[in-house]
Amino acid sequence: PSAAVLAQSSPPRGWSMGAGWMLRDTAYVGADGDQKLLPLLQYEGERLSWRGLRVAWALDDGAADDGRWSLLAQARMDSVKADDVVGFPGLRARQRSLDLGLAYQRGLGAMQLEVAALTDALDRSGGQELAARLQWPIAAGRGRITPELGLRWWSSRLADYYYGVDADEFGESGGSSYRPGAATLFELGVGSVYPLGTHWSLAGSLRWRVLPGAWRDSPLVDGDGEASLLIGLTRRF
């Protein structure tokens, strides 16, 4: 959820490096919030962009406002450890993965639209995702605030891996397998970047994922949504 936290509508060229603290609250039964310290890396070049956990290579040298296709690689941070969920002694871990795909970006007046098609490159789930994201950067003093709306369609294999459960994962208490199948989820978010002098910047991101009904019905889930927060400090070189 924090792959593009440092993204701006017209980011400066060159490297930025720093570190960030991420807190993620999942909807899994009894699971505690996951927090970690992450390196933050950003590079903006003629065609290559590296923004946190996301790398894109533009297939042409045109401006994004006129429409631009890119090859995309990004980390999938969805995961749960085997002993994190209450009531499932036989639970198998759901692992993070790497998604590869194709993205199209285009400016719509003051807004930026991106659509992407992704597939699980490490075959953790073997699933696919279709995503659409609309951002509109707003100047806020020296900084920038970027509200965001998103829709994500998950294939049945992707949804079943992270939110499905096999009968043997209930342990001796027994239970029936559950497969949520393909579904579409809605996301809200806001990101911000605020300069601290010439080279340093403070970055932040807050996101909320609304789970579809089929996921909320999973025995693994006891909530309606999931949230993530990222706060970081970076230096531009």
Give the Cα separation of 127 and 182 in Å (integer): 10
Give the E-state strand segments of 162-224 in sequence order.
Answer: 183-196, 200-210
Instruction: State residue 41's pLDDT score.
Output: 87
pLDDT digit string, tens, across residues 194-221: 999 888 999 999 999 999 999 999 999 9
pLDDT tier at 18 (50, 70, 90 boundaries)? very high
Residue 1 has pLDDT above 50, yes or no: no
Instruction: State residue 63's pLDDT score.
Output: 63
